[in-house]
Amino acid sequence: MNKVLIIIGEATETVDTLYPYLRLQEDGFEPVVAGPEKRRYHMVMHEIPPDWDGQVTREFEGYTLQADIAFKDVKPEEYLGIFFSGGRAPEYIRYDEDLVRITRHFFEANKPIACVCHGVEIPAYAGCVKGRKMATVTKCKFDLEICGGTFVNEPCVVDGNLVSGRTYHDHGRYVGVWIKMLIEARREADKA
């Protein structure tokens, strides 16, 4: 078992997505990009410039990325772990019934999960954050807490099989922790 899901949609954040995508490859994993449909998605780059007083996220056009598989076709038992990317995509893809099914599988099966920025909106909507501690962008603190989670304003928060960061600025702090979890899960899967 070597495949890891990366969840995206239209307006997924570029750095949120590409950093873990490339890191997975570096450690010998096969990243599989999943979206609402199997097609190419436009990504965006988000930044809150210091002179904007943290009020509004400035958005720039990013790269595009091909989804390898549609949510409806994902058999989550075939995957070692999952990554929930940020950007605006989680605001609308969280309502996809197949994505909810996929998300619940990874939480129930205790597989390695990583989440950044607005990505929290997916497990929150799926009912998977109750009693869990997570980092997320401050704007999503409400989404996490209203669904029973606890917001932690740190660059890396580990709660069991769940690793989270606030924004792409935290990638260097939490993605490596998640990769180590995946390596251990792969080792255990190879023994079985």
Tens of pLDDT, residues 159-187: 999 999 999 999 999 999 999 999 999 99
Domain that holds residue 14: 3-191
**Catalytic residue numbers?**
118
Query: Where does the pLDDT of residue 139 fall: very low under 50, low under 70, confident under 90, or very high at 90 and above?
Result: confident
Smallest CA-to-CA distance from 41 within 2, 92, 4 is with 92
Residue type for 160, please? G
Average pLDDT, the chain: 94
Eight-state DSSP code of residue 189: H
**pLDDT tens, residue by residue, 18-49:** 999 999 999 999 999 999 999 999 999 877 66
pLDDT of residue 48: 67
What are the structure tokens assigned to 90, written together? 């989680």
Tell me if 136 sits within 8 A of 153, measured CB to CB. no
Question: What's the CATH code of the domain at 68?
Answer: 3.40.50.880
pLDDT of residue 49: 65
Domain count, the chain: 1
